[in-house]
Structure formats: structure tokens, C-alpha cells
Structure 1
């Protein structure tokens, strides 16, 4: 039962979190007049929103109602009446920062001294009985709260039903999006939340901890016992719901998410993101913790993987089971690292010992072109969608091994261009 529930959670992850602005401190102190507010970080320019076909959208809508309406078809049809697709949602879905930006750029933007200080100020907002009941540390919960909504201040103001209908119509993740749309419609039809208040991100994630509709229905917690699961306006409900999701996904009490590790000279990078082994195995391979020491006894007994999110030139990590539990929230290595490293910072652990390389982001054309080239060359990426995930990294690693390259599975812009020339 645990296995099937975990697979279900991983199949219905929260939408990818945007890179959010820093939140103001809990008790703000006005800056002196002569100190202007810092300029916001530049946002990478996105391609223009695609033109969508309204007639085609209407055809998809009728098909959706036939497939999923059932006895509620008339009620669903009422909520979908007059809806138009949102072209900006399609554009954003194809340019998610967790999968298009180098891991270091994503993590460094998310894990800052300011954000860690803000998180420490809010650590007491996590009800102690939530930590006791679910076993998820308050630092992890506050890290998710920070990353998902800047502590509730940036929750998204888009019509969740319209966003999910657009994603379903676009078709990249149609089955998933149609399932989430049905759940969103049920939230409204059942009276759990008024349609006007069902707001969220462009990808349909809702509230302070950015729950997808299915997770809201199955895992939402009424922590203050007022009869309403209010993840939008109630900190306690939002944080307890997040803790419940992680607990149901298999959070291991008394263990951390992972560690930065130092790899020895001559390490076989083809082992990264491969079979998992316990600490004794990795230590025998010469893997060490930068500050010395070792994982605790429970952690050392766990099967763990080595991750190289930015290749052999970047930091390396020992990913324990709780790293993958965080990915039940958002199935991205960069996202899970951002949450884990924020939690470490809240606890006062040292910063990373190895700097992130300053690599350029990959364009969508490079990501898709590299995936298509690898597949053409006989290294199937299991889909050409522009998302550089585990399947693409595994295919790239096989190509690197076959071509005598260092097999770290990391796609740089130069390597993408080379692959496109060879097999695009």
C-alpha cells in the first residue's frame, strides 16, 4: 500500500515553483531613506505566447466532458462555460526554471542569506503538534513555504480551472491535467471553495504551499478544526497539509535529506544517479563529507545515490530517501536541493564547500534538439519534451560512455550544440 501511495503522490506532484521575490521580515524595519530598495533580479526573457485555437479548445472541452463528466457533466459544463485558453500558461509550461536553468542558478536564487533569515523568523509558525504528528522537521516545512509562495505572499492569482483546462488542451501532459481539472471542478461543485477564490499558479498549484487539486482533496488538513481546509489564508492548515503530503510520501523521521560530498580523483561518474548503495559502499569508493564525519547510523544504513546536478565540475550530493520524498512535492532535483539546503541554512549548517559553475541556461531549442539527437543516435530519452530529467540524463550518460567522455550526464549548451550537429 505504501508503494502505491508513493507512486500516486509522485504522479501528482505540485506544479513547479516559480522563483519568488524575497519576503519582507516578520517585523519590518524601514530602511534609511538614503538606501534605495535593491532592484529585482532580471527575469530571463521568455518567448512570445503561442497562438491558441479556440475552435480546437471547444472540441477538446466537449471531449473532456464526455470522458470525465459522468453524472456531473452539467455542473462541469457550467463552470467551463465561456472559458478561453490562456496562451501564457502554455509558454510558461515550456520554460520551467527547474528544468531549463542550471541547477546552481536555480539553487543560488532560492537559497539566500535573506531568505534563510526570514525563514528563521517564521520557524515558530509551524505548530509543534504538526512536527510531532507527521515527523517532518519544521525547517523543511518552512523551506517549502518560502519556496512555494514566499511565506504565503505570492500564491498566484490565476483561475485554476482555466489554467488546468489550458494545459489539458495543449496536450503535453493531457491525462495528468485532465485529472487535476476534474478535481478542481469537484472542489467548486462540492462547495469546498468558491470558484472566485480558487486561485493559484499558472500550473494550477494553490495556496501558501501550492497544492495541486488532487492533493488538496486527499491530503489537505484542517489544522485549526474550523471545518475548512484553508491553504490560502490559514498558515496552520497550509503547513499541516504540506507535512501530511511528505509523511504520506514516506518521510523518515530522524534523518536528513542528504549531504554534500567530496568525490575522489578517478571517481567513476557513471555511477552517479544510478543504483543506490549504503554509506559503507560509497565510503569504500573514497566518498567523504567535506567537514569530516559521517551520516548518522540510520542514514548510513539507507540506500542512497550520488547526484551531480551540474556535472563533474559542480557540487556533488549524497541523496538519502528524504530527498526523494521532497520530490513528491516537485519532481525536480534543483527544487529538492533548494528545500534541503534552505533547511540546512536555517539550522546553521555550513554553506556548500564547492562552488556552482556559472553555466549558461539552455534554450528550448537546445533542450529539444539534444533530446531528439540522442534518440536519433540510438540513446532513447523516452520523450522529446524539452525537460532535461532523469531519462535524458541517463541517455546522455550512455552516449558519453560510448564516446569516451566523462560520463556525468550533464548537458551543457556546448554539448547540446554538438549533439544537434551529430544527430539532430
Structure 2
């Protein structure tokens, strides 16, 4: 592979890990994302050099957390867990990366355009025969969706991450932002090693603990991993068939609807009530009555018309609009990010030969962590609860912002620009 191609892969692949920044989406029972890696073009496959600005973890505090973890979760396996955790120290790179997940800090258009490229679509088409037809038939998840996930998660297995999964999860648990989740994942990762499912030296993945070609978290590996090639092991690192079957199983268990699309680009009429976006789900008749049209003409299939669907404005009223069908939300069970799910859906559309978007993405600046956290604090202090101040601009923050926009006579598209963030922050100083 030429150096330029390697650089593209390095820059665009998202080593996924569970983000869980928002409460479970309405729909089927939650399936932990094989994910918050962050997913999308971001996490490198090798540990980047730690910059001088990286935090220096408190080793004494880490040792105290470790003993607490063993007290809480060790049980009959305490000695085994202690052996695997012996000599471990927290990874400052993991702490830094956890605060800079691209799905929530970069504008959707920048994320999607970086992920959905002619090169990636061509590479996916070349690998279509590597998706076992038996997997597609069994789980009902289309080949092109599995190819989209495979491309986004690991550049078709080429960029899987080489972080020590146990060290990464121990660091996240110690850091505390997602302690309960991280400790649960750490326990599962330790069990994978202790039960002989995977050697510790081979338990590699993203900085957030996502593993293999389709970036499964340890709990999903244990619950949903599939030995498709029948060799007695669920090898999501080395076996294309196992990795793709496991991903298909995750989506099927999350409620994938056979024969239906993830969604469509739509055109909204002049005077559309943007306050309806990302709100209650309605059937196609509801949206059609309000002037919504598919961007490329025609109508959803009969089955899709009967489904509850949402209008999404991932980059506000100035950007493309989408009709999100239930399968869009199933993809978000893999990684709970609008940008991620759009990247998968649009990649799948490209593989099928469907035309591209009719509306261009605005060229908005990314939001700094200070702007994201400052906005959440400002909205909360103004009486618009963002359900937490974590720097992740998810559906709860967008809903709070939309209500503020409605109450203040603004166009209520729920989209946070850098300019609006600065305005809100100034209001509460």
C-alpha cells in the first residue's frame, strides 16, 4: 500500500468505543455499542506520542482505585484479576482522547465527508464477496451496511488499534467519567483472558477498549460474538467472517428491520417548523403533509412509510436534512452518534450506487471543549437542562438548545455553532 493511502486510512478510521453520552434511544432494548470509541475517523491504530499537555495520572490514586475494583468485582476471581492488573499504570493518552471524541466535537459535515469518500466506497465494493452470504441471510443486515461498519471501524481490518484493552479500560474506570460502565467492561475483558478466549498479549484494541475488525467492546464480544468460520474461537481480530457475523448479530439483536433503508435525504419546505426536528417520530404521511419530500424524488417503500421516522438536521437548517428511519437508530446502538450513523448509511448508499447528497454541508468551525462545556453550563444556568455537563453535544443538549431558541425567537434547529456557543457563554458570565 502506498504511503498516501496509509495516511488516509490513519486519518479516517474510527476505532470505535462506547460513548454512552446520552440515555438509551427509544426503540428496541439497548445493545451496548460495539463501540464509545469513539467511532469515526479519529482513533489511531498505534499509541500516539503523549504530548506534554497530557495529564499525569496519580499512581497512588490508581492503586487505591485498583483495590476498590478488586473488592467490588473480584469475588472468586480476585486473585486472577489481581494477577492481570499487577504492575499496571494508567495511560494518560486514554484520558486525553476520551475528552476529544470526533463524533461530538467536529461538525457533522466534516466528519461525514472524511468518512464517506469515493476511495472508501470503491474499496468496500472490492470486498463485497468477503461478507458471507449466510450471514446476510441469517441476520437480515445488508452487505453494504456491514461493509460500511467494517470500513469505518478498522479500514477493513487494517487499523484495529494496539492499545492494551485492559490498561485502557482500567484507565477509564480510574478516571471516573464512566466508571460503572468501564469497570463492567474491564471485568469482561479480564474474563476473556482468564477463560482462555484470547491471550492477554492479543487483547488489543482502541484507546476506549473496542476490539477487532468491527471494534466490539468486551461485553458484546462475550454476548454477541459469532464463530462463523467454525474453528472453535470467536476471532474478531483475524477472521473476517467472525467479525462481520458478530457485527450483524449486534444489529439484529438491536432490532434491525429487514428490507428497509436507514433513511433518506429530504428537502424541507419554506416555513418548515424546525422545532419538529429530532423530536417525536411520525409516519411518512405526517411528514408529507408538512411538505417534506425525498431529495431524489419518489417515496419510501410501503413498509417504511408505516414506520415512525424523525427529521434530522445534523448541521442545522443550513445543512442537509434527513428522514431517519428505525434502522438509523439501530446503527446508533453500535455507536450512539448521529454523525457515525449517517456515515455508515451514506457509505452503504454509495456502495449501492445511489446518488450523493443534493445539499452541501456548511463549512463550520469545530467546537472547542471549552465551548461545548461552557454552552452546557450556560443553558443549564438559564433553566434549560442538558442532562449533564460533559462536553458532548448529544440529543439532550440539542433539545435544551432548541427550547432556548424557541423561547428566544430564534430559528429552532437545535444546532450549536461556535458563534452561538460564545454568545450563550457571554450571557451567563
State whether TM-score is above 0.5.
yes
Distance 1:399 1:83 in 2: 46
Describe how 1:294-313 pairs up with structure 2 within 5 A: 294-313=299-318
- 1:238: Cα distance to partner? 0.3
Question: Is 1:165 equivalent to 2:187 in the alignment?
Answer: no
What is the CA RMSD across the aligned residues, in angstroms? 1.9
Question: Is 1:406 equivalent to 2:428 in the alignment?
Answer: no
- 1:48: Cα distance to partner? 2.5
- What residue in structure 2 maps to residue 390 of structure 1? 395
* Aligned partner of residue 9 in structure 1, secondary structure: coil
- Pick from 110, 115, 138: which aligns with 1:105? 110
Distance 1:257 1:48 in 2: 41
User: TM-score of the superposition, structure 2-length normalised?
Assistant: 0.91
Pick closer, same or farther for the CA change 1:4–1:369 going to 2, 3 Å. Answer: closer
Question: Is 1:354 equivalent to 2:359 in the alignment?
Answer: yes
- What residue in structure 1 maps to residue 222 of structure 2? 217
Question: Is 1:16 equivalent to 2:38 in the alignment?
Answer: yes
- Pick from 29, 33, 43: which aligns with 1:7? 29
- Pick from 294, 314, 328: which aligns with 1:323? 328
* CA contact 2:33–2:216 (8 Å) conserved in 1: no
Distance 2:101 2:420 in 1: 21
Pick closer, same or farther for the CA change 1:12–1:125 going to 2, 3 Å. Answer: closer
- 1:261: Cα distance to partner? 0.3
* CA contact 1:20–1:149 (8 Å) conserved in 2: no
* Aligned partner of residue 261 in structure 1, secondary structure: strand
- What residue in structure 1 maps to residue 182 of structure 2? 177
Which runs of 5 or more structure 1 residues have no equivalent in the other structure? 23-42
- 1:13: Cα distance to partner? 4.3
Pick closer, same or farther for the CA change 1:4–1:104 going to 2, 3 Å. Answer: closer
* CA contact 1:12–1:176 (8 Å) conserved in 2: no
- Pick from 157, 181, 184: which aligns with 1:152? 157
Distance 1:375 1:47 in 2: 33
Question: Is 1:244 equivalent to 2:244 in the alignment?
Answer: no
Question: Is 1:54 equivalent to 2:59 in the alignment?
Answer: yes
Distance 2:397 2:54 in 1: 26
Distance 1:362 1:311 in 2: 15
| CA deviation map 1:57-95 (0-9, x unaligned) | 111111111111111111001000000000000100100
- 1:47: Cα distance to partner? 8.7
Distance 1:277 1:293 in 2: 18
- What residue in structure 1 maps to residue 17 of structure 2? none
Distance 2:102 2:331 in 1: 17
- 1:378: Cα distance to partner? 0.5
Question: Is 1:253 equivalent to 2:275 in the alignment?
Answer: no
- What residue in structure 1 maps to residue 236 of structure 2? 231
